[in-house]
Amino acid sequence: MKASDLRLGNFAGVCYEDTFIADQVIVLEPGVVHLSNRKYPDDERDIIGVPLSEDWLRKFDFHYDPTLERWEYKNIIIKKISYQSDNYWIWQSKAGVLKIEFVHVLQNLLHSLSQVN
Protein backbone atom coordinates (compact mmCIF):
# COMPACT_ATOMS: atom_id res chain seq x y z
CA MET A 1 0.00 0.00 0.00
CA LYS A 2 1.27 3.47 -0.78
CA ALA A 3 1.94 5.71 2.18
CA SER A 4 0.09 8.45 0.28
CA ASP A 5 -3.14 6.39 0.58
CA LEU A 6 -3.05 6.78 4.36
CA ARG A 7 -3.57 9.56 6.89
CA LEU A 8 -2.35 9.79 10.47
CA GLY A 9 -4.76 7.84 12.65
CA ASN A 10 -5.77 5.38 9.93
CA PHE A 11 -5.85 1.71 10.85
CA ALA A 12 -3.54 -0.66 8.97
CA GLY A 13 -1.36 -3.71 9.57
CA VAL A 14 1.73 -5.45 8.27
CA CYS A 15 1.76 -8.37 5.86
CA TYR A 16 4.56 -10.43 7.42
CA GLU A 17 3.15 -11.18 10.90
CA ASP A 18 1.59 -14.58 11.67
CA THR A 19 -1.24 -12.90 13.56
CA PHE A 20 -2.76 -9.82 11.93
CA ILE A 21 -3.04 -6.92 14.35
CA ALA A 22 -4.58 -3.65 13.19
CA ASP A 23 -3.11 -0.49 14.63
CA GLN A 24 -3.01 3.23 13.98
CA VAL A 25 -0.64 5.08 11.71
CA ILE A 26 1.44 7.50 13.79
CA VAL A 27 4.13 8.60 11.30
CA LEU A 28 3.94 8.97 7.53
CA GLU A 29 6.91 9.72 5.33
CA PRO A 30 7.43 9.05 1.63
CA GLY A 31 7.64 5.26 1.33
CA VAL A 32 7.56 4.71 5.11
CA VAL A 33 4.70 4.04 7.55
CA HIS A 34 5.04 3.70 11.33
CA LEU A 35 2.24 1.96 13.22
CA SER A 36 1.78 2.62 16.94
CA ASN A 37 2.24 -1.04 17.94
CA ARG A 38 5.60 -1.39 16.14
CA LYS A 39 9.02 -0.41 17.46
CA TYR A 40 10.31 0.60 14.03
CA PRO A 41 8.66 1.99 10.90
CA ASP A 42 7.93 -0.27 7.94
CA ASP A 43 8.34 0.10 4.22
CA GLU A 44 5.02 0.98 2.60
CA ARG A 45 5.17 -2.32 0.66
CA ASP A 46 4.70 -4.20 3.95
CA ILE A 47 1.59 -2.26 4.98
CA ILE A 48 -1.83 -3.79 4.25
CA GLY A 49 -5.36 -2.60 4.78
CA VAL A 50 -7.69 -3.82 7.49
CA PRO A 51 -10.72 -5.52 5.90
CA LEU A 52 -13.96 -3.67 6.61
CA SER A 53 -16.38 -5.61 8.81
CA GLU A 54 -19.54 -5.14 10.87
CA ASP A 55 -17.39 -4.66 13.99
CA TRP A 56 -15.50 -1.79 12.37
CA LEU A 57 -18.75 -0.16 11.24
CA ARG A 58 -20.00 -0.27 14.84
CA LYS A 59 -16.74 1.36 16.01
CA PHE A 60 -17.47 4.27 13.66
CA ASP A 61 -21.04 4.65 15.03
CA PHE A 62 -22.85 3.04 12.10
CA HIS A 63 -26.14 1.38 13.06
CA TYR A 64 -27.62 -1.64 11.32
CA ASP A 65 -31.14 -1.45 9.92
CA PRO A 66 -32.27 -5.10 9.65
CA THR A 67 -35.40 -4.19 7.68
CA LEU A 68 -33.40 -2.55 4.88
CA GLU A 69 -30.32 -4.73 5.46
CA ARG A 70 -27.92 -1.81 5.53
CA TRP A 71 -25.68 0.18 7.84
CA GLU A 72 -26.44 3.87 8.40
CA TYR A 73 -24.60 6.87 9.80
CA LYS A 74 -25.99 10.36 9.30
CA ASN A 75 -26.81 10.44 5.55
CA ILE A 76 -24.39 7.62 4.65
CA ILE A 77 -25.52 4.10 3.78
CA ILE A 78 -23.24 1.08 3.57
CA LYS A 79 -24.40 -2.27 2.27
CA LYS A 80 -22.64 -5.61 2.14
CA ILE A 81 -22.82 -7.17 -1.30
CA SER A 82 -22.25 -10.85 -1.97
CA TYR A 83 -21.68 -11.73 -5.59
CA GLN A 84 -20.65 -15.28 -6.43
CA SER A 85 -17.83 -15.92 -3.94
CA ASP A 86 -16.96 -12.24 -3.55
CA ASN A 87 -18.02 -10.10 -0.58
CA TYR A 88 -17.56 -6.34 -0.55
CA TRP A 89 -19.12 -3.14 0.73
CA ILE A 90 -20.89 -0.36 -1.14
CA TRP A 91 -20.86 3.22 0.21
CA GLN A 92 -23.82 5.40 -0.77
CA SER A 93 -24.07 9.09 0.05
CA LYS A 94 -24.68 12.43 -1.60
CA ALA A 95 -21.03 12.22 -2.70
CA GLY A 96 -21.80 9.15 -4.80
CA VAL A 97 -21.53 5.36 -4.75
CA LEU A 98 -18.22 3.64 -4.09
CA LYS A 99 -16.97 0.12 -3.51
CA ILE A 100 -14.90 -0.04 -0.33
CA GLU A 101 -12.92 -2.92 1.13
CA PHE A 102 -10.72 -1.46 3.85
CA VAL A 103 -11.12 0.49 7.09
CA HIS A 104 -8.66 3.24 6.06
CA VAL A 105 -10.81 3.98 2.98
CA LEU A 106 -13.87 4.39 5.22
CA GLN A 107 -11.85 6.62 7.56
CA ASN A 108 -10.66 8.80 4.69
CA LEU A 109 -14.17 9.16 3.26
CA LEU A 110 -15.60 10.11 6.67
CA HIS A 111 -12.77 12.61 7.17
CA SER A 112 -13.35 14.17 3.74
CA LEU A 113 -17.07 14.56 4.39
CA SER A 114 -16.45 16.09 7.82
CA GLN A 115 -14.27 18.75 6.17
CA VAL A 116 -17.12 19.70 3.82
CA ASN A 117 -19.81 20.02 6.52
Flag the least confident range among 35-39, 42-46, 85-89: 85-89
The residue segments making up the domain with residue 91 are: 54-116
What CATH number does the domain containing 31 carry? Answer: 2.30.30
Whether 23 and 75 map to the same domain: the answer is no
pTM: 0.89
Whether 27 and 63 map to the same domain: the answer is no
Whether 58 and 108 map to the same domain: the answer is yes
pLDDT band at 114 (very low <50, low <70, confident <90, very high): confident
Whether 38 and 60 map to the same domain: the answer is no
Whether 95 and 109 map to the same domain: the answer is yes
Please, which contacts does 6-12 make with residues 24 or more away whose CB atoms are closer than 8 Å? 6/33, 6/47, 6/104, 7/104, 7/107, 7/108, 7/111, 9/107, 10/103, 10/104, 10/107, 10/108, 11/50, 11/103, 11/104, 11/107, 12/47, 12/48, 12/49, 12/50, 12/104
